Structure 1
Amino acid sequence: MLKALIFDMDGTLVHSDPIHLQAFVEVLGPEGVVIDDVVFRNSIIGHTNESIFATLLPNHSVEEHEEFARRKEAAFRRLATNLKPLDGLPDLLDWADASGIHLALVTNAPILNATHMLDIIGVTERFAVKVTIEDVARGKPDPLPYLTALDRLGIAAHEAIAFEDSPSGMKAAKGAGLFSFGMLTGLKAEEMAALGADRTIADFHDRALWEILEDRARS
């Protein structure tokens, strides 16, 4: 029986990627680093800050990477003041609450960003479990963040459904054994399917989602 829904955050709960791109441009542009859509898609979306800055600033020290990451996240929070939940999210969360299904967040973002975004879209208190990058030794694409969420929820993988939008996130969710929806906020359906997504949906109104939820909730 379905007991939990586990969500990624950026690109899944909220379409925040354009603001992240803007923040990276603001912080790394003066360093001569070009952040275009290709770089953002291939080297940033779904990656940890450790990986991102090691890739984009290979000649800088780890300490410098950490400082750039701090500045970038501060820029993001300053810019991200008008976020909206992905279409259909409030209805899905209401359905989960009414059905006694727990909600969890699993993100490579730092806790300050997660709290900021959840507060802006008004859903902070709805998540029983929140796993951020500070909570785990290894972020996505390692399955550890999802395994940590399952452990905190006290359930098995077959009792939960995950929602992800990035290659690293989908690899993590599938690595943890979760049935996973691929959100088409950044990738195409065929790309998500190639990563292992069990189904792909454009938003949380998608009928393909509700057919599976209603079936699993009855099982």
Structure 2
Amino acid sequence: MDTPRLAGITTLLLDADGTLFPSEEPAFVASAVVTEEFARDFGLTGDFSPENLRRTTTGKNFRSTAQDLLAQHGTVLDAGQLQTWVDREKAEVTAYLGQVLKPEPDVVKALTLLSRNYRLAVVSSSALTRLAACITAGGLDELLPPAVRFSAEDSLPVPTSKPDPAVYQLALDRLGIESNQAIALEDSVSGTGSAVAAGIITAGIVQFVPADERADRKSRLREAGAAWVTDSWEHFARDVSPHTAATVTP
């Protein structure tokens, strides 16, 4: 694959969970506790273990997952009841991630280098409180302040989740840029679909994907529309550096 087209690119739109930090596995440990209780209360059946939730719902927020489970079982829940569960899951996962995540030196280094040439922003399905806890734990507050964080759960008039492109469209609007002025970076299929649907050139990254899943994830990210897939933040920073002519390989 050819070098990414950098002419006119001013902004990097970065997914959070699984992209900026290895939060997917610990998040699902905490989320599974709430999901299992949610399922019991409403008579829902299925495999709600942390590992199965990670494999089947990565890229979605709890609201979307809960709505999908309810729809599959023909169960109706009013908005207030659903919000109670969303708030509980958000609080428990946020607290847990704030305890277990630590700065990733290679991410901090890459973002510091990238910030010299691009504006950086976060575009996520996760709630803003969860993003804040993770970004602080990851040592990224100065590079990704609150003003450039966009949440499909909290920033939109009506909460949604990737692969809906609404959160990317909102980010473009708030940042005052067109889709051809940005590159998105995503680790999930649903996130890639969201960015691509918004008309944004999208790169996949698999640095925090379990090693035995990386080959399959790379293939699925390309199928979802990723222009290229990179193995690490170091490689991504090299790929989009305006001072190099690195070749992006499939």
TM-score scaled to structure 1, two decimals?
0.86
The answer for the alignment partner of 1:135 in structure 2 is 155
Note if 1:169 corresponds to 2:191. Answer: yes
Return the offset for 1:114. 1.0
User: Once structures 1 and 2 are overlaid, which stretch shifts more, 123-132 or 58-67?
Assistant: 58-67
The match for 2:9 among 2, 6, 16 is: 2
Cα distance in 2, alignment partners of residues 217 and 134 from structure 1: 38
Maintained 8 Å contact 2:124/2:150? yes
Q: Which stretch of structure 1 is more off in the superposition, 166-175 or 48-57?
A: 48-57
Name the residue aligned to 1:195: 224
Deviations 1:140-177 (A, max 9, x none): 21212112111222222222111111121101111111
Task: Report the CA distance between 1:38 and its aligned residue.
Answer: 3.3
Q: Is the 8 A contact 1:4 1:104 kept in 2?
A: yes
Structure 1 140/216 Cα, relative in aligned 2: closer, same or farther at 3 Å?
farther
User: Alpha-carbon deviation of 1:111?
Assistant: 1.2
* 1:27 and 2:41 correspond: no
**In 1, Cα distance between equivalents of 2:16 and 2:169:** 17
1:47 and 2:54 correspond: no
Contact 1:47 1:168 in 2 (8 A): yes
The correspondence of residues 148-167 of structure 1 with structure 2, limited to 5 A, is 148-167=170-189
Report the TM-score, using the length of structure 2 for normalisation. Answer: 0.76
User: What do residues 100-155 of structure 1 show as CA deviations (whole Å, max 9, x unaligned)?
Assistant: x1111111111111111111112123225111121113432121211211122222
- Cα distance in 2, alignment partners of residues 183 and 103 from structure 1: 16
Q: Who wins on radius of gyration, i.e. which is larger?
A: 2
1:61 to 62, 77, 99: 77
Q: Distance in 2 between matches of 1:196 and 1:172?
A: 10
Cα deviation, 1:75-122, whole Å, max 9, x if unaligned, reads 1122111213556211222112322x1111111111111111111112
Counterpart code for 1:181? A
Which residue among 179, 189, 200 is the counterpart of 2:201? 179
Structure 2 unmatched ranges of 5 or more: 1-7, 246-250
Corresponding position: 1:144 with 2:166: yes
Extract unaligned runs of 5+ from structure 1.
Answer: none
Give the deviation of 1:216 after TM superposition. Answer: 8.1
SS across alignment from 1:122:
coil
C-alpha distance 142-29 of structure 1, shift in aligned 2 (>3 A): closer
Distance 1:23 1:56, change over 3 A: farther
Q: Go from structure 1 to structure 2 and tell me whether the alpha carbon gap of 1:205 and 1:112 turns closer, same or farther (over 3 Å shift).
A: same
RMSD, matched Cα: 2.3
Go from structure 1 to structure 2 and tell me whether the alpha carbon gap of 1:217 and 1:102 turns closer, same or farther (over 3 Å shift).
farther
Whether the aligned pair in 2 keeps the contact of 1:21 and 1:35 (CA below 8 Å) is: no
Greater displacement, 209-218 / 18-27: 209-218
CA contact 1:12–1:86 (8 Å) conserved in 2: no
Which position in structure 2 is the counterpart of 1:12? 19
Among residues 101, 109, 123, which one is paired with 1:91 in the alignment?
Answer: 109
Aligned to 2:3: none
